[in-house]
Chain A
Amino acid sequence: MHSVVAAFAAAWIIHIVYLFTLASRQRELRRALNAVTTQRDVR
């Protein structure tokens, strides 16, 4: 019983971790893009 729960939980956790990694990378990227656009608009 325990191992079945562990296996399914592991799969979900890995997916969620990857999703969060993608999201945090995207946030950083968005911030950098924002910075560049404002810098360009200022000129």
Chain B
Amino acid sequence: MEAKRLTPATGPRPTSNWIVLWGSLTLLLLLVGLYLALLWAPEEATMGIYQRIFYYHVPAAITAFVAFFINLVASVVYLLRRSRIADAWAVASAEVGVVFLTINLITGPIWAKPIWGIWWTWDARLTLDLVLWVMYVSYLLLRQLTPRGELQPRLAAALACFFFVDVPINYMAIRWWHTQHPQPVIFGGPGSGLAPPMYVALAICWMAFMALGYVLLRLRIEQEMDRHALDDAQRALLLEDVGG
């Protein structure tokens, strides 16, 4: 039996070109963003230095939402087409989304402690972030606990559809629930008007995070496809054995 063509395991990989280009661009953007956020942007009047955390906090959240949206689209495409590449996109975007949302959830309390005086509050936005995080971690766990093969992407895609339907219901439930509870803090965050340089710093940081997200996503997709190649090769060998 003719074994499937394998990616050359040694020697230069076809990925090397783009990773150098995108990797250096991302690193540059990240460093520029860091400089703008920490030194260049003016100090905020009421929150002082702590407001600078927002230059990482907000872009991380937006990047995570973009990743989860990609996950949904890829899952639906998988259910319709059953294509491996769609599933690779789905698993990659879920992982990258969880990474960025973790950053968002860690930087949030670090900011809240000096400003609000508390680490955490069941504010609507925080709660929804946490719920999303919990959901996609359970998505990754499902993938981990399901044997590789045709079943795993199928179940994962169905779960992604459940999440999509769940998010708006969650939004309504959490908002209503939240309004019934006294709000422990006065929210004086951004949105109450940022100075133009702050927008610039925020935009650069967001671009840096999106570029980084793209690099991570693409690396993870290629890894997933490599794993498929490995699965195929192993199966082919096994069939040869059986065929004698």
Chain A residues with a Cβ under 8 A of chain B: 1, 3-4, 6-8, 10-11, 14-15, 18-19, 22, 25-26, 29-30, 32-34, 36-37, 39-40, 43
Contacts and interface: CB of A to CB of B under 8 A. Distances in A.
A43 B223 contact: no
Contact of B6 (A3, A36, A43): A36
A40 B56 contact: no
Contact of B56 (A11, A22, A26, A34): A11
Contacts of B57: 7
A39 B7 contact: no
24 contacts: A3-B53, A3-B110, A3-B111, A6-B110, A7-B106, A7-B107, A8-B34, A8-B56, A10-B106, A10-B107, A11-B60, A14-B106, A15-B212, A18-B216, A22-B216, A22-B223, A26-B219, A29-B230, A33-B9, A36-B233, A37-B6, A37-B9, A40-B3, A43-B240
A33 B107 contact: no
A29 B60 contact: no
Contacts of B114: 3
Contacts of B103: 10-11, 14-15
Nearest to A34: B9
B237 A33 contact: no
Task: Please classify the interface of chain A as helix (H, G, I), strand (E, B), loop, or mixed, using the class held by over half of its residues.
Answer: helix
Contacts of B234: 36
Contacts of A32: 230
Interface residues of B, number: 39
Residue with the greatest number of chain A CB neighbours at <10 A, chosen from B53, B216, B236: B53
What are the 4 tightest A-B residue pairs by CB atom distance, in nearest-first order? Answer: A7-B107, A7-B110, A7-B53, A33-B9
Interface in B22-77: 34, 37-38, 49-50, 52-53, 56-57, 60
Given A15-B99, A22-B219, A3 B113 contact: yes
A42 B204 CA distance: 53
B127 interface: no
Contacts of B240: 43
B143 interface: no
Contacts of B154: none
A3 B2 CA distance: 59
A14 B106 CA distance: 10
